Amino acid sequence: MSMKIAQFILILMVSPFLFGVINRTKAFFAGRKGAPLFQLYYDIVKLLRKGAVYSFSTTWVFIAGPMVSLSAIIVASLIIPFAGHPSIISFDGDIILFFYLLGLARFFTCLAALDTGSSFEGMGASREVQFAVFAEPALFVSLAALARLTGKSSLAGIFGSPQIHSWVSYGPLLCLAIAALFILFLAENSRIPVDDPNTHLELTMIHEVMVLDHGGVDFAYILYGAAIKFWILGALLTGIIFKVSPYGWGVDTIIFILLMVLLAVIVGVVESTLARLRLLKVPHFLIVALSLSFVAFIISLR
Amino acid sequence: MNIYVNFLIISVFLINLIMLSSSRIRACIKLMALQGVLVALTPFIIPHSVATGVVIISVINIILKGMVFPWLLLRALQDANIRKEVEPVGGYPFSLLIGVAFLVMSFWLDSRLAYSIQVFSNLAVPVAFATFFTGVFIIVSRTKALTQVIGYLILENGIYFFGSILLSEQPLLVELAVLLDVFVAVFVMGIAIFHINREFDHIETNKLSELKDWIEPQEDI
């Protein structure tokens, strides 16, 4: 149990670091020096010390939004297996709980955005929900393919089973699932090519525009929630690649964190080399992920 | 052994999906060539003995589908001076989902068939069917004549794939005749596209119905 708690605390501590890695990679490609690797920690600490300003037109939903989102994401991080070991919460069918916790986080972010009454934020919420219509089924189906392959219905069961590492027999399925999950990983974390985390032009933003009116502590919650969400969705990807080593928990943990850092570097490379898709093309991109996950699922049925 | 077979089969199917969702004709031609080569390589990686006739047919297939057809089509593309297909009926995302639906349908079809021999992979026949359907769908849904030729060749890829999965040795004469037919068809279609383009400045097939010898007389009131 103490090991599981240690894993949980590691997730909470390490996840903002990955954003620093992404920004460093992008800075390297742009020929800049870049922000410090621990910039997100500084930002969060700075924001936590500030007070929040609430508009008179908002209600309790606006205040609850970031808190509910962050707590839903933290509970989801209790489910996600760490380095092939089960986490604190693990039972049959916890995949469904995992997805609905992410859905709850999204729902409250959108509600808080709508609560401000700003037309821009409403637009952002509308886009977020529109793209989620394509992204969520794809996420469900690709995880269903893996569940079907391994015969387990808990995340820990899926990522701990031998089938997920037998590339010789199930290579095509695993490749398809990884491709679909990577697209969804980029989309759900609002990275390029779906959304640009650095853009500050309201007309093209999706996720950023929804959180424009949050400040201080609330914004710190949002940033921290985004960092943990990046970790838990990334852990779905690295969980497929990672194989438990015979050298014990410590080595596993280090290798797993290095894999996550590698994933962050890959995201940085993708962001540096790709342009953002036109908003009209984003559903097409997500439907590609949906098709790939469906193909993986169909193959898993055989 | 099995992993290469499955990767090859899935690549053949993924090429279908890309073909359904891409508007760039040049990329489609190249992918069609790649699919043709992959399909022609099937007899060598499936576990039964390779006869001389099979080798001959595979080599001819690779030369025709991998080099001659892309060259003919790329030249026709250059002559016609077009680069992109117009949006098909329902849009590209819809055709992509149709492609996946074809796979589901093919699996159902496959489950209804009784084979007299042991098939080496349970994915092979459904993917062959799906390739077949994809070719037909491209022919009916795309409007440029050139893309329709590509659809025809995908259809042929599917049929050849189906044959090379189920038969350890296909009759050499029949296969050669089929290949000759396909070659002549693509050759003639290439020339036809060139002439249509020169006469009418476009190769939109849905506008070809405007070709009429006489105009219907207007009703006088």
Tens of pLDDT, residue by residue over A66-122, are 999 999 999 999 999 888 788 888 888 899 999 999 999 999 999 999 998 888 888
Interface of A with B (CB under 8 A): 167-169, 171-172, 175-176, 283-284, 287-288, 290-291, 294-295, 298-299, 301-302
Place of tokens 């819809």: B94
A295 to B100: CB separation less than 8 angstroms, yes or no = yes
Chain A, chain B: beta-carbon pairs less than 8 Å apart: 47
Shortest Cα distance, chain B CAs vs residue A213, angstroms: 35
Which pLDDT belongs to residue B146?
80
Pick from B93, B103, B122: CB nearest A295: B103
Shortest Cα distance, chain B CAs vs residue A140, angstroms: 17
A291 to B17: CB separation less than 8 angstroms, yes or no = yes
B140 close to B131: Cβ distance less than 8 angstroms: no
Long-range CB contacts (< 8 A, 24+ apart) of B135-138?
B137/B20, B137/B95, B137/B98, B137/B99, B137/B102, B138/B19, B138/B20
Place of tokens 């890959």: A266
Kindly list the residues from chain A whose CB atom is less than 8 angstroms away from the CB atom of residue B88: none
Shortest Cα distance, chain A CAs vs residue B13, angstroms: 9
Pick from B97, B107, B122: CB nearest A291: B97
A171 to B103: CB separation less than 8 angstroms, yes or no = no
Instruction: Give the chain B residue nearest A283 (alpha carbons).
Output: B93
Which pLDDT belongs to residue B212?
61
A-interface mutation test, from B2, B7, B10, B105, most A Cβ less than 10 A away: B10
A52 close to A218: Cβ distance less than 8 angstroms: yes
B3 to A294: CB separation less than 8 angstroms, yes or no = no
Shortest Cα distance, chain A CAs vs residue B43, angstroms: 20
Positions in chain B short of pLDDT 70: 1-2, 47-50, 83, 85-87, 168-170, 198-221
Judged by DSSP in three states, B204 sits in strand
Residue-wise pLDDT for A265-290, tens only, equals: 999 999 999 888 888 888 889 999 99
Residue A23 has pLDDT above 60, yes or no: yes
> Hey, what are B177's tokens?
């005749």
**Partners of A85 in the beta sheet?**
A82
The gap between the terminal CA atoms of chain A, to the nearest Å, is: 38
Kindly list the residues from chain A whose CB atom is less than 8 angstroms away from the CB atom of residue B17: 291, 295
Instruction: Give the chain A residue nearest B12 (alpha carbons).
Output: A172
A124 close to A207: Cβ distance less than 8 angstroms: yes
Instruction: Give the chain A residue nearest B13 (alpha carbons).
Output: A295
Residue-wise pLDDT for A123-172, tens only, equals: 889 989 999 999 999 999 999 999 998 888 888 888 888 888 777 778 88
Shortest Cα distance, chain A CAs vs residue B62, angstroms: 24
Which pLDDT belongs to residue A268?
92
Which pLDDT belongs to residue B42?
83
Distance CA B192, CA B79 (A): 12
Judged by DSSP in three states, A246 sits in coil
All residues at 6 or more sequence positions from B140 whose CB lies less than 8 Å from its CB, including other chains: none
Residue A202 has pLDDT above 70, yes or no: no
B-interface mutation test, from A299, A300, A301, A302, most B Cβ less than 10 A away: A299
Which amino acid does the sequence have at A154?
S
Average pLDDT over residues A11-29: 92
Shortest Cα distance, chain B CAs vs residue A302, angstroms: 7
B93 to A172: CB separation less than 8 angstroms, yes or no = no
Judged by DSSP in three states, B52 sits in helix
Distance CA A223, CA A215 (A): 11
Torsion region of A62: left, alpha or beta (phi above 0 gives left; psi -120 to 50 gives alpha):
alpha
Which pLDDT belongs to residue B122?
80
Half-sphere exposure of A142 (CA within 13 A, CB side): 30
Task: Give the ipTM of the model, two decimals please.
Answer: 0.81
Kindly list the residues from chain A whose CB atom is less than 8 angstroms away from the CB atom of residue B2: 168-169
Provide the H-helix boundaries in chain A.
Answer: 2-30, 39-49, 60-79, 94-115, 119-150, 155-160, 167-188, 207-210, 216-241, 249-273, 282-300
Query: Could you please report the per-residue DSSP string of B118-146?
Result: --S-TTHHHHHHHHHHHHHHHHHH--BHH
Distance CA A268, CA A191 (A): 9
Half-sphere exposure of B110 (CA within 13 A, CB side): 20
Kindly list the residues from chain A whose CB atom is less than 8 angstroms away from the CB atom of residue B6: 171-172
Which pLDDT belongs to residue B50?
67
Shortest Cα distance, chain A CAs vs residue B10, angstroms: 7
Pick from B6, B93, B122: CB nearest A284: B93
For residue A82, the 8-state DSSP code is B
Distance CA B217, CA B221 (A): 12
Pick from B7, B97, B99: CB nearest A172: B7
A-interface mutation test, from B3, B92, B129, B131, most A Cβ less than 10 A away: B3
Distance CA B160, CA B48 (A): 17
Kindly list the residues from chain A whose CB atom is less than 8 angstroms away from the CB atom of residue B10: 172, 175-176, 295, 299
Which amino acid does the sequence have at B41?
L
Which amino acid does the sequence have at A33?
K
Instruction: Give the chain B residue nearest A298 (alpha carbons).
Output: B104
A138 close to A182: Cβ distance less than 8 angstroms: no
Residue A209 has pLDDT above 90, yes or no: no
